[in-house]
Amino acid sequence: MSDSVCNAIYQELSAIRLIDPHTHINPLAPASTTLADILGYHYYTELAHSAGMPKGLIEEEGISPKAKVERLVRHLGPIENTAQHSWLIHICQKFFGLEGHRLDETNWETVYDVSETKMASADWAETVLNESNVEAVFLTNDFDDELTQFDPNTYIPCLRTDDLVFHLGKDSTQQRLESCTQIQIGDSLSCLRNSLENRFEYFISNGARACAISLPPNFSPDRISDGRAETALSDVLRCGANADPANQVALSSRIFWTLAELCDQHGLPFDLMIGVNRGVYRDGVFQGQDLYDSRVSLIQYRELFNAFPNVKFPISVLASVTNQELVSYSWIFPNVITNGHWWYSNTPSFIARDAAARLEAVPQTKQIGYYSDAYKLEFVLPKFDMYRRILANILGEQFVKQNNWSIERAVELGRRVLRDNVESIFPALGDKKKA
Amino acid sequence: MSDSVCNAIYQELSAIRLIDPHTHINPLAPASTTLADILGYHYYTELAHSAGMPKGLIEEEGISPKAKVERLVRHLGPIENTAQHSWLIHICQKFFGLEGHRLDETNWETVYDVSETKMASADWAETVLNESNVEAVFLTNDFDDELTQFDPNTYIPCLRTDDLVFHLGKDSTQQRLESCTQIQIGDSLSCLRNSLENRFEYFISNGARACAISLPPNFSPDRISDGRAETALSDVLRCGANADPANQVALSSRIFWTLAELCDQHGLPFDLMIGVNRGVYRDGVFQGQDLYDSRVSLIQYRELFNAFPNVKFPISVLASVTNQELVSYSWIFPNVITNGHWWYSNTPSFIARDAAARLEAVPQTKQIGYYSDAYKLEFVLPKFDMYRRILANILGEQFVKQNNWSIERAVELGRRVLRDNVESIFPALGDKKKA
Amino acid sequence: MSDSVCNAIYQELSAIRLIDPHTHINPLAPASTTLADILGYHYYTELAHSAGMPKGLIEEEGISPKAKVERLVRHLGPIENTAQHSWLIHICQKFFGLEGHRLDETNWETVYDVSETKMASADWAETVLNESNVEAVFLTNDFDDELTQFDPNTYIPCLRTDDLVFHLGKDSTQQRLESCTQIQIGDSLSCLRNSLENRFEYFISNGARACAISLPPNFSPDRISDGRAETALSDVLRCGANADPANQVALSSRIFWTLAELCDQHGLPFDLMIGVNRGVYRDGVFQGQDLYDSRVSLIQYRELFNAFPNVKFPISVLASVTNQELVSYSWIFPNVITNGHWWYSNTPSFIARDAAARLEAVPQTKQIGYYSDAYKLEFVLPKFDMYRRILANILGEQFVKQNNWSIERAVELGRRVLRDNVESIFPALGDKKKA
């Protein structure tokens, strides 16, 4: 970063201890155990596959972590231009002594061995958190996750609800729900609601600070009457995936609406991640099959936003084209909040334009700047650092140079979207958290 | 603005006396009378509300202007990052002696008192126009506005037609139309047309230089046959909002088409402001309830553009995603003209990208660079100044530095889109204007 | 280009000999014969017309080339701001001795005369190729083009299939197909397939390296069963444009799918140019009538991409809003490749943002940076040069300055997208080519 103003802001932002408001970290195995956990991240497997590496080579059963890394390293050349690759290099430089900007056949084994040793340390996760300047990370918990075996001050539970809204028709979902709640749903809407409420109570009492869901582009939630919902529930529970599609849609809408009611009742923010189509590339690698139709609009959520003025909806959009709507809806709806830069929009040029549009038009208290979406702790650092550099550039160029702000004032705005808003928007609610 | 080339261009552009081609100024009360007129602008009330200020606090009946300002000032903190806030500060610095970049509890009362004194001056509007380097502003007149009580050389009438196209079913609209034209519509299409023509004649003879309308994203005008239109008219006049929705759509389309015919006949440009959904946030503050569905296309207007080759259509789009279509349609259709940066696209990053795309691909004679959309004269200055800075940056970076243009040539292009095109695209037509 | 890093990269990129992977060059008359071929390019006629030049003045029958140029020159003033105009000036400066940045009434005749002399030279096409640093250009051949009369190492055939997919209902298309293949289609799907296969064999044996098609925004290809396709074929062959629209759609889909099968069988890449609506502006000048509806999604092609994993699909999108989908689909689908900046997206600001998004997230081996789309060889230079400058800026600013790449590494990435990928993605397949 050559510019001195932007660089000064970047340095200040880097000193801010982070709370990462959305990850897929497993609190019982938060950090990597081998470099295969790093290189096995879907960003590398899907990009390597896209560039020609056969899926069979990546996903062969029984292959050792070291052999898997060796294979993937041989296919990194075509993706060295990508932002995703730069995260990998950043991790290897920061944590495992890599010099230079390539992980290739000449150096991977050294890095592998260094990383193996470091990762074997009992306090590796703690080390990564500290060296990454991270205080806590939000999790993505299944509704039936056990939440008592980790520290919710570091690993903050979040109730992920995709299965409940979109897959209640599966026997496995029903069984998991009945098993963790000890409530039989039968055909009863009220039993269904009770079991959902059970989950809210369990999660909040164990430190959960958000409810979350990812939604397909054609989802448009609306109030479903009890009668209509009962018919739908009955059909879906009986016929599963063979139920009348209209009933599946109605039931999804009803359950989603009930979740919003429970968020309202319990004061829990409801993260909406809008726009993903699952399984578009059927033969893609694991977690590398989902895409989207960018023709989605927040107008699909107008009734929701009107119906729940007291529920905070931090919203992520998958395609940058939806960012302006997100800015506009956040600009007038008190309960709509901008949230991070998701997945296919999480590369520098999309972040830069989307973040700039938010910073200039959405109240500064209603912007959650970034989350890592990481599966392993090592990724929090390079992803947040990418964002910090972009944020520092926007603050330096637009606010300091164009608008004559002081550096201090620009850093204050950066701190707010990087850290402060995470705490004010997702307050601790439950008993355990307070303890 | 640190760059010397861009700054030189900016200085030249600032010296150009402006005609603002679209405002909501009331010609009988064009400037503010207290700071509450400034802070009461929907940009501040809706942003403050979005950031947590209760609507009741903003819109309480009977509250004094000074009390209202005090309340709003206490809620400006969260929106200090916004471009909209920068307009407020610019106004207070320029006109009311504010020092620094904040209006807060420590200084608002001084600013209030200074502004009250200044605004009480009989020539305040004239002062604002002069200090803003503004020669004239276009108005947004209801079809039944009285146009004879102000100087149409400074306050240029514009016939706004939303009520006619979308609300003829309301008794009040019919009564207003019959009252100002002295023509009974009955169920007769030809009487309806005569009454519309009456409005065109009245407006043009009183100096109007444009017809205008804002349109929802799903509007797609088409020719409606006489028979179909008669049925629709009859149903809508009889049943109002309870008329068959298909008849409401047909009648809207028919009236809109008739307006285009009258524009053709009278040589009046027809401003189309495309894409707004009214009342999306039902409990929003006054004028802070409208949003949009960005899934709109100018292909919806293909028949219109083909049918009226001699009508100039200056077009504004609400979402930046539609800007490329606007560029492309203006690039080949002689009657399609780019017009300003509207509402949710009127913040720096959207203006910058949309203006750049236009400047590089649309004939320079077919671009109306900017309008303020202001309700009070004080806002013309900061809004145009925001645009001038962005325009100067594009001209300096892209045209001078990248394309090796001279600064003089770049300023000429700037002058054209800032001022000259307003005069060539909206010529004076009527008798009074010539007088 | 003031910046030294970007300029150094630009100089290196300019030294790379090009293969232009998509043009409309006529190999029997590849270069212009008068300046009317340059100024007659639809970019100038449509922009001049859009800015007010009557169509009749442009397209008058029997007008001499010189008179046509004189007329157009008088209407260039309003379009001097456009990128398209800068191509014209670049050509006139580079090849015909123009000084300054204007072609106007004072100098056009000199330029005309110089160009006429130069173009009369027997080796003019060769000269243009050499001075433009171009080794070869891809053509856009009708399916019944004769391919044996030119050197396919310089003029590389490409089978364009719009007529087959969308216009088989026309008698002329059927007759042309039967005439060049000597196969009677009758009502037989297998005869139709045989005739298509005949074209593939003919094209590949004559050096073709791509199949290509442009597609309207609402096209969504899918497998059509034999029975359904037979019904459709029969109806369309009998009734032409009067056939049941559903049958026309089904037949288009079937033929398109068959073409993909033949690409698969023969190893030919299938260029998809997605998003154009033909004839939107009915009274537009020649080739200046087409526009689009930007509401298109690559999700419409999901079944195609899944069904043909071994067919390379270089994809161009007409609207920049679709670029992020293109990036995302290329990022995970091995067979989806980004291809150039098409038509209404071929101006600097759209190229800059679309190219940056690709360079940071799509494997570098899967990006075809640019093609000229030129009708005459003279346009290859200015269009590619525009792209090279933008590419050099992105590489310099993002990769060198932000990401700390070396200039050499940045140039390597540039070389890959500018040249190397054209050769690796479109390999020579046929006998003649190898000879």
Per CATH, the number for B130-224+253-434 is: 3.20.20.140
Q: B264 with B311: CB under 8 angstroms?
A: yes
Per DSSP, the residues of A237-276 read HHHGGGS-HHHHHHHHHHHHHHHHHHHHHHT--EEEEE-E
Residue A94: is its pLDDT beyond 80? yes
Nearest to C297 among A2, A80, A295 (CB): A295
The whole-model pTM stands at 0.97
CB within 8 Å: C281 and B305: yes
pLDDT reported for residue B435: 40
Task: List subunits contacting chain C, requiring 3 or more Cβ pairs under 8 Å.
Answer: A, B
Mean pLDDT, residues A222-246 taken together: 95
Confidence label for B1 from pLDDT (cuts 50, 70 and 90):
low
Q: B74 burial class (0-12, 13-18, 19+ CB within 10 angstroms)? A: middle
3-state SS assignment for residue C292: strand
pLDDT reported for residue A2: 58
Task: List subunits contacting chain A, requiring 3 or more Cβ pairs under 8 Å.
Answer: B, C
User: What gap in Å lies between CA B333 and CA B98, rounded to an integer?
Assistant: 47
Per CATH, the number for C130-434 is: 3.20.20.140
Residue A433: is its pLDDT beyond 70? no
pLDDT reported for residue C433: 46
Confidence label for A21 from pLDDT (cuts 50, 70 and 90):
very high
Chain A interface includes C328 (CB < 8 A): yes
Query: What's the CATH fold of domain A34-119?
Result: uronate isomerase, domain 2, chain A (1.10.2020)
Q: Compute CA distances A159 → A199, A214, A277, A316, A366, whole Å.
A: 8, 12, 21, 16, 21
pLDDT reported for residue A186: 85
CB within 8 Å: A306 and B282: yes
Shortest alpha-carbon distance between residue C350 and chain B (Å) = 7
% of chain A residues with pLDDT over 70: 98
Residues of chain A with C-beta less than 8 angstroms from the C-beta of B47: 331-332, 363
Mean pLDDT, residues A210-238 taken together: 96
CB within 8 Å: A1 and C402: yes
CB within 8 Å: B345 and A361: no
From the list A143, A325, A310, A142, the residue with the least C-alpha distance to A217 is A325
User: What gap in Å lies between CA C63 and CA C61, rounded to an integer?
Assistant: 6
Q: What is the pLDDT of residues B221-275, one digit of tens each?
A: 999 999 999 999 999 999 999 999 999 999 999 999 999 999 999 999 999 999 9
**C 302-321: CB under 8 A from A:** 302, 305-306, 309, 321
User: What gap in Å lies between CA B272 and CA A24, rounded to an integer?
Assistant: 47
Q: What is the pLDDT of residues B119-131, one digit of tens each?
A: 999 999 999 999 9
Per-chain mean pLDDT for chain A: 96
pLDDT reported for residue C435: 40
Taking only Cα atoms into account, the Rg of chain B, rounded to an integer number of angstroms, comes to: 22
Residues 6+ apart with CB under 8 A from C361: A82, A83, A84, A347, C327, C328, C331
Shortest alpha-carbon distance between residue B425 and chain C (Å) = 12
Same fold for the domain at A34-119 and the one at A128-161+188-217+254-434? no
CB within 8 Å: B49 and A332: yes
Nearest to B413 among C81, C288, C348 (CB): C81
Residues of chain A with C-beta less than 8 angstroms from the C-beta of B283: 306, 309
Mean pLDDT, residues A148-163 taken together: 97
CA A344 to chain centre: 12
Closest residue on chain A to B348 (Cα): A360
User: Could you identify the residue written with the tokens 């029969």?
Assistant: C234
Pairing, β C291-292 against β C276-277? antiparallel
Nearest to B51 among A365, A401, A404 (CB): A365
User: Could you identify the residue written with the tokens 């014209």?
Assistant: C88
Q: Compute CA distances B295 → A32, A300, A319, B299, whole Å.
A: 43, 12, 13, 12
Query: What's the CATH fold of domain B33-122?
Result: uronate isomerase, domain 2, chain A (1.10.2020)
pLDDT reported for residue A187: 84
Closest residue on chain B to C283 (Cα): B306
Shortest alpha-carbon distance between residue B353 and chain C (Å) = 8
Interface mutation vs chain A, best among B76, B81, B354, most A CBs within 10 Å: B81
pLDDT reported for residue C187: 84
Closest residue on chain C to A52 (Cα): C334
CB within 8 Å: C349 and B364: no
Which superfamily does CATH assign the domain made up of A128-161+188-217+254-434 to? Metal-dependent hydrolases (3.20.20.140)
Residues 6+ apart with CB under 8 A from A201: A266
pLDDT reported for residue B2: 58
Q: B160 with B213: CB under 8 angstroms?
A: yes
Which one has a higher pLDDT value, B187 or A128? Answer: A128
Mean pLDDT, residues A329-348 taken together: 98
Mean pLDDT, residues B360-364 taken together: 98
pLDDT reported for residue C2: 58
Indicate the domain borders of chain C: 31-121, 130-434
Intervals of chain C under pLDDT 50: 433-435
Residue A298: is its pLDDT beyond 80? yes
Nearest to A361 among B80, B347, B353 (CB): B347
Least confident of A283-292, B7-16, B179-188, B403-412: B179-188
3-state SS assignment for residue C273: strand
Per CATH, the number for C31-121 is: 1.10.2020.10
Pairing, β A270-274 against β A210-215? parallel
Residue A391: is its pLDDT beyond 70? yes
Give start and end residues of each alpha helix (H) in C320-430: 323-332, 348-359, 380-394, 407-415, 421-425
Residue A85: is its pLDDT beyond 60? yes
% of chain B residues with pLDDT over 70: 98
Shortest alpha-carbon distance between residue C328 and chain A (Å) = 6
With b meaning 16 or more CB within 10 Å and e meaning fewer, what string describes B296-310?
Answer: bbbbbbbbbbeebee
Helices A407-415 and A4-14: crossing angle, nearest 10°? Answer: 40
Residues of chain B with C-beta less than 8 angstroms from the C-beta of C281: 302, 305-306, 332-333
Chain B interface includes C353 (CB < 8 A): yes
Shortest alpha-carbon distance between residue A390 and chain B (Å) = 15
Chain B interface includes C17 (CB < 8 A): no
Nearest to A83 among C329, C361, C364 (CB): C361
From the list B250, B290, B251, the residue with the least C-alpha distance to B273 is B290
CB within 8 Å: A347 and C366: no
Residue A18, φ and ψ in degrees, nearest 5: -100, 150
Confidence label for B431 from pLDDT (cuts 50, 70 and 90):
low
pLDDT reported for residue C429: 84
Interface mutation vs chain A, best among C360, C395, C411, C412, most A CBs within 10 Å: C360
Closest residue on chain A to B296 (Cα): A295
pLDDT reported for residue C206: 97
Taking only Cα atoms into account, the Rg of chain A, rounded to an integer number of angstroms, comes to: 22
Per-chain mean pLDDT for chain B: 96
Chain C interface includes A80 (CB < 8 A): yes
3-state secondary structure C179-223: HHHCCCCCCCHHHHHHHHHHHHHHHHHCCCCEEEEEECCCCCCCC
CB within 8 Å: B353 and C353: yes
Mean pLDDT, residues A190-199 taken together: 97
